[in-house]
Structure formats: C-alpha cells, structure tokens
Amino acid sequence: MEKGQNALELNLKWLSIAVNEFIDFFQQGYNYKTMIYDLWNAKDVLGHITFWHESFARNISDLGLGRKLNPLKGKLSEVNSLSVESTKDVSIKDLLKRFRKAQYTIEQYIFDKQIDLIPYKKGSRDYSRLEHLDIVTNHIFKHLKDLNKKIQNG
C-alpha cells in the first residue's frame, strides 16, 4: 500500500472519530440552547458543523462524479452566518442525520485518485484530500472542545 493511501486512511479514521464524538455529544440530552459563543448556542454550532460538512461532501462528490463545482461563496464571516441561519429551524435529529449522510459521502469519494484538489470556498485556495481531512477534523474537534467546556464545566 502506498504512503499516501496510509495517510488518507489514518486521517479518515481521525475524522470518523471526530464525527462520532460530535454526534455522541448531541445525543446526551444536554441543554443545547446553552450559549457557546457570543452569538451561537450549542445547536447553532451543530448547524454550523453540519453545513460545512455538507459543503465538503458536495464538493468531493461533484469532483468524483464529474459534475460542475459550486463551492460556497462570500467572506468567511458571511458563510459562517449563513451556516447558522440556514440550519436554525432544523431539528437536532435531522441535523445529525444530515451530518452522518455527509460523512458517508466523504468516505465514498476520499480515496478517488482522480480527485486532486478540493475547493473550500470561492476566493480560497483548494486543498488536497489529505489537507481537507485534517482541516475538517481539527475544526470539528475545536468546536467539540468548546462545547464540552461550556456545557459540562459550566
């Protein structure tokens, strides 16, 4: 097995751990209206993460299927606001389903050697499959750490 394949498998394993821990957190019955950041409560963080995970899944599957790419557009602050606003009225249960589905899609396409660089958003550089996995995993773990800190430690 080639070195790049091993690294992809390891990074995918870490992403899977992050996704599972994030999902587990939202199945504990905490008060998900607890404010985590100045403008976002715990459920908003779930919406934000789900939104971005779906974006990654859409971009990688579009590449894998040869479809026209349509990465997110706008300043990062605008896209992050959209991530929360567009998921505000979606239940936690449905967000978790969507999050799992996005993860499944990523797993389907991450080993496709035809996929070289994956767009993040318009105006930003594209990332290799390995880099993208690393960035997404760190993003999920960062928010999970903040969620645990605020909800479990008060």
Architecture of domain 3-24+35-145: Up-down Bundle (1.20)
| CA–CA distance, 77 with 80 (Å, rounded to integer) | 5
Question: Positive or negative, the Cα torsion across 50, 53, 57, 59?
Answer: positive
In which band, very low, low, confident or very high, does the pLDDT at 2 lie, cut at 50, 70 and 90? Answer: low
Position 152 scores a pLDDT of: 77
Residues in the chain: 154
pLDDT tens-place string over residues 55-104: 999 999 999 999 999 999 999 999 999 999 999 999 999 999 999 999 99
CB 99 within 8 A of CB 53: yes
Residue 5, pLDDT score: 78
Single out the residue of 54, 147, 55 nearest to residue 100, CA to CA: 54
Ranges of beta strands (E only) in 2-145 are 117-118, 127-128
Q: How far apart are CA 102 and CA 44, in angstroms?
A: 18
DSSP lists the bridge partners of residue 33 as none
Tell me the pTM. 0.94
Q: Where are the domains of the chain?
A: 3-24+35-145
